[in-house]
Amino acid sequence: MANIVVVGTQWGDEGKGKVVDLLADRAQVVVRFQGGNNAGHTMVVEGRTFISHLIPSGILQNKACYIGNGVVVDPEVLLDEMESLRKMGVSVTPENLGISERAHLIMPFHKALDIARETARGAGKIGTTGRGIGPCYEDKAGRRGLRFVDLMDFETFSRQARQVCEEKNFVLTGYFQAPAVDADAMIRSFSDFAERLAPHVTDVSSALDRATAEGKTILFEGAQGTHLDIDHGTYPFVTSSNTVAGNVCAGCGVGPGSVHGVLGIVKAYTTRVGKGPFPTELHDEVGDRIQERGAEFGATTGRRRRCGWLDLVLLSASKRLNGLTGLAVTKLDVLTGLPEVKICTAYRLNGKEIQRFPANLTDLAACEPVYETWPGWEGDLSGVREFDRLPENARNYLRRLEELAGAPLKIVSVGPGRDETIVLENPLTNP
């Protein structure tokens, strides 16, 4: 048995969904440990595209899937996603999808506040998705949040929800001059949500403990990427939760001994959605070409992703923060046909070369990337299933990435489909 955490090593959108879907074949349990529906995992199976925002990717293989207590859940979005998957022939039942009774609920007033705040920031917008994730985590930390366990006692839930809604409406109308949230309509809708989701609500921590005792393999699935972590990311242009592997324990209710390895997902180049410094960003035809060939649009927002060369300063920080035991490189095929490819190995700041990722965003914005240039490669990679059959220049690029990152290469993705993958070593067998 080898329980593995799958994390993004950049700013999200690295292809975690595909990798989890691929690895789920050897796992019995898949659990999401943080974030909300501001994240999206895109999977392509037999030519069909599935996008999940809350439900773990393992649902496509009918694995036991859980939404951990560290996730904030919009019940309307979750129900829509469940129905969408069912229409595509994917089974979603209480037997294969459990929701932590301790997970917090995203309420309509959270979304209203999110939008009102972002609108008020004007040119200083952070780039929030407006889905209420941040305000929900705020209420969680402020001890006024509403959880699924509360929803199961609807009389108590209704009283608490009205009380919190009154406070939020005061801020919405008095400070932001935004419309108030209709508390009665909100409570009616949540009555329906409670009835439909009750069969899925469970004690996820205990379920995972039983799975471990039975010798089952667990995949822990993160959302976003390391450098969107609330503590370790490019604050304030971050998400509102801890995205690093260490949050698995708090976000699922398991002990550190339950984790046997951490697989870091890294795109063969770097992308970022929204605002914030991006040292290797390309503002030229190469960046446009990568964006177009990689179909770099956010799975949740549809926003165009900013594209740049692979940043090993960024990746090295992720290796340290997550304790990576392996790497999965995605979208290698997107770089095919470029005459040369570059790897950022250091930054130049105020005339000095540094290899650390600055916490100060003014410093980060002033950093100039120091590049190694490698020759590109040609040919269709989508049919390659063995590392040695990749073009020599592609192999050299990957081996240099592996050397600089200080973590072994386990998986290389050469196309969007589940089968368009080279598995050098399955991390569930050898973490």
Residues known to be catalytic: 13, 41
Taking the mean position of all CA atoms in its chain, how far away is CA 15?
9
Give the SS3 label for residue 65.
strand
Two tokens at 116?
Answer: 């009102």
Alpha-carbon torsion angle 298, 302, 305, 310, nearest 10: 20
Please state at what angle helix 133-141 crosses helix 108-121, rounded to 10 degrees. Answer: 110
Residues 6+ apart with CB under 8 A from 418: 18, 21, 22, 43, 44, 45
Q: Which of 81, 121, 45 is nearest to 300 (CA)?
A: 81
Two tokens at 426?
Answer: 């399955």
Distance CA 268, CA 331 (A): 6
Distance CA 250, CA 289 (A): 40
Element spanning 109, H or E: helix 108-121
- According to DSSP, the residues that pair with 412 across neighbouring strands are 329, 422
Give the SS3 label for residue 16.
helix
Q: Which of 370, 431, 424, 380 is nearest to 402 (CA)?
A: 424
Cα end-to-end distance, the chain, whole Å: 10
- Cβ atoms of 311 and 280 within 8 Å: the answer is yes
Q: Is the alpha carbon torsion for 363, 368, 370, 374 positive or negative?
A: positive
Distance CA 25, CA 250 (A): 26
Cα-based angle 154, 155, 158 (whole degrees, multiple of 5): 80
Q: Which of 9, 403, 5 is nearest to 232 (CA)?
A: 9
Distance CA 426, CA 431 (A): 8
Please state at what angle helix 392-405 crosses helix 312-322, rounded to 10 degrees. Answer: 50
Radius of gyration of the chain from Cα atoms? 22
Strand-strand pairing, 270-272 and 261-267: unpaired
Residue 162 dihedral angles phi and psi, to the nearest 5°: -60, -40
